[in-house]
Amino acid sequence: MRAVVFERFGEPAEVRDVPDPTPAVHGVVVRVEATGLCRSDWHAWMGHDPDITPPHVPGHELAGVVEEVGAGVTRWQPGDRVTVPFVCACGGCAACAAGDQQVCERQTQPGFTHWGSFAQYVALDHADVNLVALPEGLSYGTAASLGCRFATAFRAVVAQGRVAAGEWVAVHGCGGVGLSAVMIAAASGARVVAVDVSPRALELARTFGAAACVDASAVQDTAEAVRDLTGGGAHLSLDALGSPVTCAASVGSLRRRGRHVQVGLLPSPTGTTPVPMARAIALELELLGSHGMAAHAYPPMLELVRSGVLSPDLLVTTTIPLDAVPEALAALGTAPGSGVTVIEPWMNRP
């Protein structure tokens, strides 16, 4: 099969032929029809994840067709249209028993713990626990955007953030995760303030329901700007980008007893990110993390997509073939982009 491979962290990846994967006893091989290009893939390429050893194939949000099944798989068969959370749970640990597969103690992640979906085929573990059937009419490109960014945003806003109609919600960083959060919060009846440095990203945020926007490059204090717009601060604020600046701004954007949800990854050389804990104490803020969404939690989100309340297809702004991925992956370091870029591994192939 053809796949995007890098041999060294931070050095150009290339598209080349590699052996096809085979399914584990509990797993499947999926023919990848679409896979998203995410900033987390850039972190993988840069060497920010300790699970990765080159040579490596990145890619973790995907949709496609089951090609092969392991002998222990009971719920799936070749030909099934599926997607999958980026966290593949084991199904047997204490976290999984509690229904918290998104923080499984023995999780695997395509594109991180093993070769991922920037390829024509990908192997996935514990299929009976992790695969999600695609509703009729849902395109592969739209489904690919659900597995990481949209599902992550959905759980961050609805489950972790406990959004309520009429609340102010601030979203810091309007890439794929952030724009998903804007759409979901607005559909929930919240008033959304979108924060970014990109005019195009803020334009999309308005399209998806943001009531107000803050150009972080044009103000001295982003948190203060959000507090002014919301009459004292957001009830819920999300850092959807993942940087010390956006994390601090998100916490600083909150009103008393507000809720901050950290969604964007925060890798750094020291492994820590300064957080304004004095403000958290004085205002009794909640500081929460959000890490994807378990497969069993997908049905309510998929029903909102089916009914037209949520339109993740509008987030897909660019579609590219495998050959364009190495350049696009490297560009995420300086230009994260707006919307979702989807890769179609079979594009332009016989």
Per residue in 268-280, pLDDT tens?
665 678 899 999 9
CA–CA distance from 185 to each of 162, 164, 212 (Å)?
10, 9, 13
Whether 349 is covered by a domain: the verdict is: no
193 within 8 A of 170, measured Cβ to Cβ: yes
Whether 253 is covered by a domain: the verdict is: yes
- Asked whether residue 66 falls in the same domain as residue 106, the answer is yes
Average pLDDT, the chain: 94
Whether 154 is covered by a domain: the verdict is: no
pLDDT value at 112 more than 90: yes
- Asked whether residue 107 falls in the same domain as residue 172, the answer is no
- Of the three residues 270, 289, 308, the one that is the final residue of a domain is 289
The size of the chain, in residues, is 350
Q: Left if phi > 0, otherwise alpha if psi is -120 to 50, otherwise beta: which for 180?
A: alpha
- Asked whether residue 116 falls in the same domain as residue 14, the answer is yes
Check which CATH number belongs to the domain holding 207 and give it: 3.40.50.720
The model's pLDDT over 271-313, given as tens digits with 9 standing for 90+, comes to 678 899 999 999 999 999 999 999 999 999 999 999 999 999 9
How many angstroms separate the CA atoms of 302 and 293, rounded? 13
- Asked whether residue 101 falls in the same domain as residue 220, the answer is no
Task: Check residue 270 and give its pLDDT.
Answer: 56
Check which CATH number belongs to the domain holding 83 and give it: 3.90.180.10
Supply the range of the domain harboring residue 339: 2-149+293-343
- Asked whether residue 11 falls in the same domain as residue 115, the answer is yes
- Asked whether residue 318 falls in the same domain as residue 220, the answer is no
Whether 350 is covered by a domain: the verdict is: no
Whether 348 is covered by a domain: the verdict is: no
How many angstroms separate the CA atoms of 183 and 210, rounded? 8
Task: Check residue 336 and give its pLDDT.
Answer: 63
CA–CA distance from 41 to each of 48, 59, 66, 301 (Å)?
10, 6, 23, 24
What's the first-to-final CA gap in the chain, in angstroms?
A: 13
pTM over 0.85: yes
- Asked whether residue 276 falls in the same domain as residue 316, the answer is no
- Asked whether residue 17 falls in the same domain as residue 138, the answer is yes
- Asked whether residue 89 falls in the same domain as residue 178, the answer is no
- Asked whether residue 87 falls in the same domain as residue 196, the answer is no
- Asked whether residue 336 falls in the same domain as residue 262, the answer is no
Please give the tally of structural domains in the chain: 2
- Residue 180: closest CA among 311, 319, 43, 290: 311
